[in-house]
Amino acid sequence: MKIIDIRCARIGRSPIVRIVTDDDIEGFAEIEFSKPYVADTLALYRQLLIGHDPREVERCMMRIRRLGGFKPWGAMVSAIEIALWDIAGKAAGLPIHRLLGGKVRDRIAVYNGGVRPVLEGHQPEHYAASMRIMADAPEGFTLFKEGVGLHGFMAPNVPGFLYGDLRSGPLHPNRGPLTPIAMRHIVDAVAAMKEVLGPNRRLALDMGPGWTISDAITILTALEQFDIAWAEDLLSGDFVPWNDVAGYREITTATRIPTHTGEQIYLRQNFRELIESRAVRVIGPDPGDVGGLAELKWIAEFADLYGIQIAPHGVSSGLLGLAALIQVSAVLPDNLIAFEYPTAKDAWWYDIVLGLPATIVENGQVDVIDAPGLGIDFDRELALKYLDAGHGDFFEWTLK
C-alpha cells in the first residue's frame, strides 16, 4: 500500500486532512477550527510522504516530525499522524487502540469542554449561572472547567483588574501583576461556582497564561479552600511557544492545588524537563498539537513514572477530534483523569459523521469505539454540502 495523495479542505469551520492510498483505504483527521491557516503547510509534508506505506506510521513520522513546532505549527504533523493510524487500523480491521497496545478501559471520563455557555456577564453571579447550566446538562459531568483570571474575558471586563494597560485581541493577550480587586474577584467567582457544584463535583480553572509567579502563589493559596481539580496554564499555555519549567515548579511546590499545563507543547522532548522536575502535577497535551496519538501515549506513560496525571486537551469544531481522543484515551495509564470533551460547532456534524452513538456522553463518560481505525466515517454526499468551495474533489479517489 502506498500514499498517493494528501489533501486538506474545510468542512464547515474545520480543516480536515485526508490521506489517499492506492488500495482504496483512506485516513482522516481534523485540525482545530481556530487555526485553519496551518493548512498552507501541507505541501511541505506531502512531498515527503507520497509513495510511502501509510501503515508504517513511525517510519512516515520520522520523515516529517522534525518539521513541526509548538501550537499551532504542530497541527498538520499531528493530523497526518492521526490519519495514518486511521489507515493502519482500517487495513488491519482493528480500532486504533488495538494497534497502540490495546484498551485498558471501556469507558473514559470527560469534562465539559465544548458544553460551555457564553457568560452573560463577568460578575460572580454570572459564573454561577453558567455553572448551573453545565451542572444540569444531560451529559452528567462531574468535572467542570471554567476560565478565570487572564484566560478568557474576565480581565478586560472587570475595571481595575491589572496594574498595566489592557491589550485587546484574541488568544489571551494580557500579562502582568494583578490588583487586589482582581484577586478578590477571582476568589468570589470561584466561590460562587463551587456553591453551585457542591462537594461531590470538582472545578478546574483555566487561568492564564500571563501570571507573575508571586501572584500565582497568592491566588492559589486563597483558592485552596475550594478543592480545585487543577489550575491551568498560569505562566505559559495556549499558543505560547515556550515552557517556564522553573517558574511552574516554584508555584507547584508552594500550593496544594494541582498545577497544569501542556496544551501548546509539541513532542515528548519538550515535556521531558517539565516531567522530570515534577514542575506541574497535571499535563494536558492535545493529540492535535503534540504530534499525534502515539506521541501522546508515550508522554502519558513517561509522566506516570513521575506521579504526574494527565487530562488531554481537546478542542475541535467537528467530531474527528473527539474520535481521536477516544482512541488514545482508551490506552493511557492510570494517571488519566479525564479528557476535554469537544462538541461540534454546527449541528449537522452529527448527521455527516457515522459511527458515534446517539448519546455520546452518559454519566460524564464516553464508551470506547471498537470499529476499525478512528471508528467513524463520513456520509460523503451530505458532507459535500458543507465542503469549502473549490475542493469538490476532496472525497474523490483519482488525482486531478
d(CA 270, CA 94) in angstroms, rounded, equals 31
Q: What is the DSSP secondary structure assignment for residue 160, as one 8-state letter?
A: T
Give φ, ψ of 389 to 5 degrees. -60, 140
Q: How many residues comprise the chain?
A: 400
Domain ranges within the chain, ordered by starting residue: 3-93+380-386, 99-378
| Annotation: CATH topology of 99-378 | TIM Barrel (3.20.20)
DSSP line for 58-96: HHHHHHHGGG--STTTTHHHHHHHHHHHHHHHHHHTSBH
Give φ, ψ of 206 to 5 degrees. -90, 115
Residue-wise over 84-99: b if at least 16 C-beta within 10 A, else e?
A: bbbbbbbbeebbbbbb
* Spans in the chain with pLDDT lower than 70: 398-400
d(CA 178, CA 159) in angstroms, rounded, equals 12
pLDDT at residue 118, as a whole number: 92
d(CA 259, CA 264) in angstroms, rounded, equals 15
Task: Report whether 205 contacts 231 (CB < 8 A).
Answer: yes
Q: Quickly tell me which residue has 476535554 as its cell.
A: 340
Could you report the per-residue pLDDT of 287-343, keeping only the tens digit for each?
999 999 999 999 999 999 999 999 999 988 899 999 999 999 999 999 999 999 999
pLDDT at residue 398, as a whole number: 55
Which residues fall within 8 angstroms of residue 318, CB to CB, at 6 or more apart? 11, 12, 13, 14, 16, 30, 33, 344, 345, 349, 353
At the fourth CATH level, which superfamily is domain 3-93+380-386? Enolase-like, N-terminal domain (3.30.390.10)
pTM over 0.85: yes
